[in-house]
Copies of this chain bind each other. A is one copy, B any other.
Amino acid sequence: MSPAPAVAALDWGTTRLRAWLLDGSGKVLAERRGDDGLITAREKGFAKVLEGHLAAMGAPETLPVIICGMAGSRQGWIEAPYVTVPAPIGAILRGAARVDGASRDIRIVPGLAQRLTEAPDVMRGEETQLAGAGLPAKGRHLVCMPGTHSKWVAVADGAVEGFGTWPTGELFSVLATHSILKHSLGEHPAPVAADSPFFRQWCERALGEGGDVTSKLFAIRAAGLLQDLQPADAAACLSGLLIGGEIASARRRYGASDAPVALVASGALATLYGSALGFAGLAFRTVDADEAVRAGLVEAARENGMIGGAS
């Protein structure tokens, strides 16, 4: 007989969804991935999409469900209003919004808002990864969550001090597809290898420039004309430049960490950012992004009394 799940956990984004059945310790008993993110679920109905995935995993009818991500945005299922930072991570999780009128206990973790005049910012989903990143309860810690819109978070004694967004993944994609650099990178840029000497060179150049990236973009084009830079290498240059610029800028904004930077990432992105953090001379430990979001969801379920036990 298979063990009974304690909670169903969902990371429900704009275009994708991941769902798990977890036991009380966060162990995965079943898993589903779907393309029915917010955009699709708005048409089909969130409850219907959710119950379909739960049924497919054999979830009991009364199993509680904890959700993070864009499903809690104004365009989502119900709005889980932003928690304003600074805020303790436990308090953020306890702000989960309950879906009324559902046949089971369903709650959505709120996003975070940084309501600073000069640096307004928002996140939804990453706050749950953050909660599951295994940060020490004491001291000042930096967390790097790379992606389309990379987030850096400064945490002090278990509370979010502040955070910032660097749209590094989006910039790569937009510049590779729609700017003059498309001629440099070619039509189908190959994945960038973290051991590419071009990735390292341009990353190191960017690290020395405090986050100034725009002065070097056209140099990639010029290197094609003057230095015979090849398309695959041009993609590595652009990736190194943007990631190096992100790290330099975040380091300038947030300063030092009392412990290695927590790099919350998976796969190729984890490798690229790991290399780049190394070039920057920053100690880091990698936390698998999938494991972090699941651990954060379990923590949220516990903080909201949906499952038993102390954290």
Contacts and interface: CB of A to CB of B under 8 A. Distances in A.
Interface string A187-227: 00000000000000000010001111111111100110111
B214 A122 contact: no
A171 B215 contact: no
A226 to B, nearest CB: 5
Contacts of A214: 166-168, 171, 211, 213-214, 242, 245-246, 249
A58 interface: no
A174 B168 contact: no
A180 B175 contact: no
B180 A218 contact: no
Count class of interface residues, chain A = 35 or more
Contact of A209 (B164, B211, B218): B211
A170 interface: yes
A217 B249 CA distance: 13
A274 B216 CA distance: 24
A48 interface: no
A119 interface: yes
Contact of A215 (B164, B178, B180, B216): B164
Contact of A212 (B114, B115, B222, B249): B249
Contacts of A248: 212
Nearest to A245: B214
Interface in A247-301: 248-250, 252-253
Nearest to A177: B178
A149 interface: yes
Contact of A218 (B121, B174, B177, B215): B121
A113 interface: yes
Contact of A222 (B120, B166, B174, B209): B120
Nearest to A180: B170
Nearest to A252: B212
A61 interface: no
Contacts of A170: 179-180
A125 to B, nearest CB: 15
A305 B242 CA distance: 48
29 contacts: A113-B222, A114-B222, A115-B226, A117-B227, A118-B205, A119-B216, A120-B219, A121-B222, A122-B225, A149-B218, A165-B219, A166-B214, A166-B218, A167-B180, A167-B214, A168-B214, A170-B179, A170-B180, A171-B179, A171-B214, A171-B217, A174-B175, A209-B211, A211-B211, A211-B212, A212-B212, A212-B248, A213-B214, A215-B249
